[in-house]
Amino acid sequence: MLPPSARWQAIALAGQNAWWRYLLGVVICAGLAPILGSIAAILFAIAWLTLQGRSLSNIWQGEGEMFAEASIANFIALNLPFIGVLCGLVLTLRFLHRRPWRGLVGIGPLRWQLFFSAFGLWLAIIAGVSALSYGAAPDEFELTFRWGQWLPLALVALPLTFLQVAAEELFFRGYLLQGLGLLIRSRMVLAAIAALPFALVHFANPEMQRGLGWMALYYFAFGWVANWLTLKCDRLEPALGFHLANNYFGILVVSSRDSVLPAPSIFTVDADSGSAMVMVLIFLAEVTLFCSLFFCRLPWRYLRDQV
């Protein structure tokens, strides 16, 4: 039997794994590909504003306003760079590592049961907690639901958010986690170290203004849980379902005004700097419940068996 984390790393062993290949792969996937996607987003914004009759002299001002507001066009533009990441991953795996990109998901066919189990369970937990929060403090939730805005958003968000989450999961939980697994044997340590780059890329998000330390801890914890799901199951589907449910809910149902992806959701909440600590503590309680139910064990027994 392979040692801890080796089953996931064994997938990477099927290809070429020199250190410079991973370094170049990270540059392509996290640097060049998003830049090309950002250029596509800017071109889309210019085309969109031009169709609205904006003059060339006002295009750049209008573009800045577009990226700051909650609109369908803004949502599309902000998600285009992730398509570049997906393309970069496919090219990197094919030409640099000489192995199929499907290996970033796992060995064998897709296991949709794992995906939908994680998706449904996490969605139920965060929806239940949000319902309790609404019951305790309804004044903090502003009803912003408008059929004319929400339905087009849903039609756009369902495929684009899937692509966005797939890009992040394939890169962080697939590419980086498998690569780091070639060097790190301990699953606990591997999950923690691989969560650092996931947290770092979110430092530019406007949510960080709530409290840098607490929000950094939130993104680190989120990345650690997604890493642990992947290593525990030797598959990417649970982390993908977990992440996708989180983003769908935050875009379509309850969003915050300082979200990195402003969207006309059903409810909108204000987030002040004092809410960051509460958010992290609630999240830790939620993921404890999630892991205990997903693996059908009590939290103490689950942690004891793994440590």
Q: Going by C-beta distance under 8 Å and a sequence separation of 6 or more, which residues neighbour residue 204? A: none
Domain ranges for the chain: 6-306
The pLDDT score that the predictor gives to residue 295 is: 86
Contact 133, 140 (CB under 8 A): yes
Q: Amino acid identity, residue 37?
A: G
Burial 54-89 (b: 16+ CB within 10 A, else e): beeeeeeebbeebbeebbbbbbbbbbbbbbbbbbbb
CA distance 11 to 102: 10
pLDDT at 255 over 60: yes
What percent of the chain stands above pLDDT 90?
53
For 137-161, what is each residue's pLDDT tens digit? 899 899 989 888 889 889 999 999 9
CA distance 220 to 239: 14
CA distance 195 to 220: 5
Averaged pLDDT score across all residues of the chain = 85
The pLDDT score that the predictor gives to residue 34 is: 76
CA distance 206 to 194: 23
pTM above 0.85, yes or no: yes
Q: Going by C-beta distance under 8 Å and a sequence separation of 6 or more, which residues neighbour residue 82? A: 34, 37, 163, 164, 167, 168
pLDDT confidence band for 168 (50 / 70 / 90)? very high
46-60, 96-110, 181-195, 293-307: lowest mean pLDDT where?
A: 293-307
Contact 169, 243 (CB under 8 A): yes
